[in-house]
A and B are shown apart, each in its own frame.
Chain A
Amino acid sequence: MNREPTVFIVDDDSAFAESMAVFLLSIGLKSKCFSSGLDYLNQFDPEAPGVLLLDVRMPNISGLSLQERLAKEPLCVPIIILTGHADVQTAIRAMQRGAVGFFQKTLGEMELCDAIQNAIVEDARNRAKHAKQAKILALLARLTPAENQVLELILSGRPNKTIASKLGVSRRAVEDRRARIMQKLEVESLPDLVRLATDAGLRPTE
């Protein structure tokens, strides 16, 4: 999992793509060039970390439609739009679809570098979060339906007594299930349980 981040460059102008790669190399970044959106999709690896530098105006698949397709992927590198011809309309659409940056070629060397670095960091954070979620979901999958019922009520802040009367079981039974939940989800305390549930995106039902 600990792979080196790569800057993926998608641009039909190979001279520009290559120059970008050399520039990135000079600031210590590894990169890979693709001459079209299709080319990138064919070699797409969701596990590969980094950032995507995407040209807008390209034959076959434009930058924006590639962005649209990638949005459907569960895991993808952040996208920075890099265009030779900035127009407000394109910028707005790109940002609405979740691009983390929009730059004009030749402009803002420092800003572009910062954006790339930030995107790589964000990608790493995103991947870590994604990995953690995946792990939690795997843990949650171990719970029985009865345990799930209790977990939901715990997360909505109900004391054991209320849970017991609500489910029509003994207080003892609720306490047992609660202990098994803590054990299966590998947490020690109630606050840990709540944090884990939040990380997993679980919300109290009431």
Chain B
Amino acid sequence: MSIREHTGEIPFDGPTSGDSRGGSAAERPHPLRSLSELHLSADLFRLLVECVQDFAIFLLDLDGHVASWNEGARRITGYRSDEIIGKHFSCFFTRDDIARGQPEKELAIAKAMGRCAKEGQRLRKDGSDFWASVVTTALYDDAHKLRGFAKVTRDITFSKAAEEKSRLMVSLALNAMVLVDERGIITLVNPQTETLFGYASHELIGQSIEMLVPDRFKADHPANRTRYFRNPVVRPMGAGRDLYGRRSDGSEFPVEIGLHPLDTDGGRQVLGSIVDITERKRAEEQSRKYLAELAHVARLSTTGQMVSELAHEMNQPLAAAANYARACVAFARSGKGATVEQLAEWMEKTAAQVARTLDIVNRIAGFVKYEPATRAIINVNRLIENIVSLSIPTMLSGAGTTVCKNGETKDTCIRAILALDESLPPVKADRIQIEQVLLNLVRNAIEAMQGIPPADARLSLSTSKVGEFVRVDVSDNGKGIAPDELGRLFGPFFTTKPSGMGLGLSISRSIIENHNGAITVESTPGRGTTFRFSLPVAREREES
């Protein structure tokens, strides 16, 4: 506490504000001297001090005997002024502290430095202890002679306990916790951090946080950190990005990091809570793998249903090639009936028909090939075109229906109308799986339109960008879905088809949700059905 002469008033700065006593007594006017010059104020001051309840404020003589007492001192220590005045202040210290000469040290420091601030265990009258914050100030008279000491003591047991508790929480937390200051220097770690990263705490504290960041992310990290400090809010780090930690041996592991700004004595800091998500990643990877296998099985089964159609499609060009080749053999053997130019032309046509077959074979092979789940940057428009050209016209022509692309107008054709947004941004997705979803939806749509004349049937596929999602609509004007069936539609083993397994839509939904998208359906019985799914637009970072 200090009283500033120049104001003529008696501000109360609080016992912990040590700044006012930083200089030597010679440089600053002594507060007691000021008071002695202002008797009225001195009385006020005494009253003020005496009534302060939250702080023990008292004087010690040169030897350390208590010379004054206030209400705060009584409340904190339990001594009445008549019980304590004249006693040595070492009665507040524990036996150990007395043995170590702590009371004397405090006074010696105050004497030498003008002031001594300490925190420590102190005793009450009843022998119980409390945690005290104590500031001892040396008091000099007008002749600069040491006259005694002013002591301001605060009971900080409660805040000390709270601090202990939070320290305990940090050290017992399952997450690794790292406190980092504005320069990126680690100021505190908990034992889990040591375990997780393979460093001892002394190897971490004082070092740059970048030592825990894999090399490939190191370059960007300081800039991200600075940006965070500019607008620090409680949030997860690097939302949507995959984060990795780097162990002392250089190995990496996937992490999730929560950021929490803290204003501390050492300025603004950030508490990072780090979770090792290796296991979760592995589980996700596993389920993604299962989904890929399931999607592949679904694809094989779809292809199985299509196989007789595909055989027909391949038979045509093979038969044509065989015819040309046989004709050429016959003409070559007989040596007459055809010119060399004609033979060459027919051999060329043979090759063209074989190429046509190969193209079909390759399309099927690519279609049924098992590929482990891999996410790549893809354009959904191209997938739709692939599906339309692959599944049409083979898909359901056996049922007397052919599907034609825009423009063609065979009488038996269902018209497929493509409205693809050419400025559609790419998505990061598994091509095979999204194709399977499209194939399921297109097959469902065509089957739903079996009952209406092909000339009236309309299969529409459209794409658009809605917010941060790519949206795909697959619509038909077929028989529609009854309202009570809509809810069960995406459940496994729900089917309205005699030969269906009821897995198509169930798998489709798993695939879309696995891609952080959504799939919905709208239907009006007798009017038609629209299936709609969305996939998040690939972030620019992923495009490169």
Query: Which of chain A's residues have a CB closer than 8 A to the CB of B321?
Result: 19
B452 within 8 A of A: no
Which of B44-52, B62-70, B310-318, B494-502 contacts its partner? B310-318
Complex CA–CA separation, A23 to B316 (angstroms): 15
Contact B320 A16 (CB under 8 A): yes
- Contact (A109, B326) CB under 8 Å given A16-B319, A26-B331, A26-B337: yes
Query: If A57-B312, A57-B397 touch, does A23 touch B326 (CB 8 Å cutoff)?
Result: yes
Asked if residues B338 and A84 are in contact (CB atoms below 8 Å), the reply is no
For chain A, the bracket of interface size reads: 20 to 34
A105 CB–B CB distance under 8 Å: yes
| CA of A74 to CA of B230, assembled, Å | 96
CB of A135 within 8 A of chain B?
no
Q: Tell me, yes or no, whether B324 is within 8 Å of chain A by CB.
A: yes
Known: A26-B327, A60-B411. A19 touches B397 (CB 8 A): no
CB atoms of B327 and A22 under 8 A apart: yes
Interface residue? A146 (CB, 8 A)? no
Docked complex: B413-433 residues within 8 A CB-CB of A: 413
Within 8 A of A (CB), among B322-347: 322-324, 326-331, 337-338, 346
When each residue 1-20 of chain A gets 1 if its CB lies under 8 Å from chain B and 0 otherwise, what string results?
00000000000010110111
- Which residues of chain A have C-beta atoms less than 8 A from B313's C-beta? 84
Q: Which residues of A contact B338 (CB under 8 A)?
A: 25-26
Interface bits B342-360 vs A (CB < 8 Å: 1, else 0): 0000100100110010000
Tell me how far the C-beta of A101 lies from the nearest C-beta in chain B, rounded to whole angstroms.
15
Whether A88 sits at the interface, judged by CB under 8 Å, is no
Given known A-B contacts A19-B323, A109-B326, A59 and B316 have beta carbons under 8 A apart: no
Interface residues of A in 87-142 (CB under 8 A from B): 104-106, 109
**B410 at interface, CB cutoff 8 A:** yes
Please tell me which one of the listed residues B312, B328, B411 contacts residue A85 in the complex, with CB atoms under 8 A apart: B312
Number of interface residues of B (CB under 8 A): 33
Shortest CB-to-CB span from A15 to chain B, Å, is: 5
- Which residues of the partner chain A approach B90 to less than 8 Å between Cβ atoms? none
B323 touches A23 (CB 8 A): yes
Are the C-beta atoms of B316 and A84 separated by less than 8 Å?
A: yes
B386 close to chain A: CB less than 8 A: no
Of B316, B317, B322, B324, most buried by chain A (CB within 10 Å of CB) is B316
Q: Are B323 and A20 in contact (CB under 8 A)?
A: yes
Indicate if the CB atoms of A13 and B320 lie closer than 8 Å: yes
Q: Residues of B contacting A109 with CB < 8 Å?
A: 322, 326
**A13-B320, A15-B349, A16-B319 known; A23-B308 Cβ under 8 A:** no
Q: How many A-B residue pairs have CB under 8 A?
A: 81
Give bound CA distance, A27 to B312, whole Å. Answer: 26
Of B315, B324, B329, B397, most buried by chain A (CB within 10 Å of CB) is B315
What separation, in Å, do the CA atoms of A28 and B327 have in the docked complex?
10
User: How far apart sit A172 and B346, CA to CA, in the bound complex (Å)?
Assistant: 75
Contacts of B356 in A (CB 8 A): 15
- Known A-B contacts A22-B346, A25-B327; the reply to A16 vs B316 at CB < 8 A is yes
Q: How far is the CA of A3 from the CA of B346 in the complex (A)?
A: 29
* Binary interface encoding of chain A residues 156-168 relative to chain B, with 1 for a CB under 8 A from any of its CBs, else 0: 0000000000000
Which residues of the partner chain B approach A27 to less than 8 Å between Cβ atoms? 330
What's the Cα separation between A22 and B397 when bound, in Å? Answer: 29
B394-419 interface bits toward A, Cβ cutoff 8 Å, 1 = contact, 0 = none: 00010000100000001111000000
A131 → chain B, closest Cβ, in Å? Answer: 32
B316 touches A105 (CB 8 A): yes
B412 pairs with A60, CB closer than 8 A: yes
Given known contacts A22-B346, A25-B327, A26-B330, is B311 in contact with A15 (CB within 8 Å)?
A: no
Cα(A22)–Cα(B348), bound, Å:
13
CA distance A16 to B328 in the complex (A): 15
Q: A19-B324, A23-B324, A26-B338 are in contact. Are A106 and B319 (CB under 8 A)?
A: yes
Report whether A59 and B402 are in contact in the complex, using a CB–CB cutoff of 8 Å. Answer: yes
Residues of A within 8 A of B312 (CB): 57, 84-85
Q: Which residues of A contact B353 (CB under 8 A)?
A: 15, 19
Q: Which of A28, A57, A109 has the most CB of B within 10 A?
A: A57
Nearest residue (CB) in A for B349 is A19
Bound form: Cα–Cα A109–B325 in Å:
12
Instruction: Indicate the member of B317, B329, B411 with the most A CB atoms within 10 Å.
Output: B317
Query: Which among A16, A22, A28, A85 is the interface contact of B311 at CB below 8 angstroms?
Result: A85
Chain B positions 255 through 291: 1 when the CB is less than 8 Å from some CB of chain A, otherwise 0: 0000000000000000000000000000000000000
Q: Are A105 and B327 in contact (CB under 8 A)?
A: no
- In the bound complex, CA of A19 to CA of B356 (Å): 14
Among the interface residues B319, B402, B411, B413, which one has the most CB atoms of the partner chain A within 10 A? B319
A105-B315 in contact (CB<8A): yes
Taking a contact as CB atoms under 8 Å apart, the answer to whether B402 and A106 are in contact is no
Interface centre among B308, B320, B321, B326 (most CB of A within 10 A): B320
Inter-chain contacts of A59 with B (CB < 8 A): 402, 410-413
Cβ contacts A to B, 12 pairs, < 8 Å: A15-B352, A19-B324, A19-B346, A22-B324, A23-B323, A26-B328, A26-B337, A28-B337, A59-B402, A60-B411, A105-B318, A106-B322
Given contacts A23-B326, A84-B315, 15 further A-B contacts (CB under 8 A): A15-B316, A15-B352, A16-B316, A16-B323, A18-B349, A22-B323, A22-B324, A23-B323, A25-B337, A26-B328, A26-B330, A57-B397, A84-B319, A85-B315, A104-B315
- What 6 A-B pairs have minimum CB-CB distances, sorted nearest first? A105-B319, A19-B323, A26-B330, A84-B315, A26-B327, A85-B312
